[in-house]
Amino acid sequence: MAPPLSALGGLLVRQTDGWRWQDGSSEPRVRDLTAAQAFEFPRVRSIDPTNDSITDYVSITRSALDEDADLLADVIAFAGPRALVVGGPRGTVEVPEEIWDAWANDRVIGLGWEPADEAGILARAEALGARFG
């Protein structure tokens, strides 16, 4: 099992009940960031190799795959034989929209907060030992 997501040098950790500081206190100003929120990939139409029908796909760019090595393995494992590699090893990976949407809406990849809360969140991190800049 993968370790829980963390941020701010491990001071903020995602638990089953939300984001918590290393001292155990909750941080309600922080929210989950899903893959669906983080990535806006082009939508294309391709032929589904499992049934030869024209299907709406999400085209995952090579730059995104290069930036997040786990993305490729996770999406291909989830999509199975319906994932398409287009343009060879430096091309894109296409995944049917319904598969991408189900995976991406459920996949927490980070965190976010409102700009107005940033100073308070960073101050709390500094109080727990973070050093910025």
Tens of pLDDT, residue by residue over 5-45, are 999 999 999 999 999 999 999 999 999 999 899 888 899 99
**For 41-76, what is each residue's pLDDT tens digit?**
899 998 887 888 888 999 988 777 777 777 777 888
pLDDT of residue 1: 63
Percentage above 90 pLDDT, the chain? 44
**Mutual orientation of helices 69-79 and 97-106 as an angle, nearest 10°?**
120
How confident is the model over 120-124, as a mean pLDDT? 96
pTM, two decimals, is: 0.75
Question: What is the C-alpha separation between 108 and 34, in angstroms, rounded?
Answer: 4
Domain residue spans of the chain: 6-29+114-127, 36-106
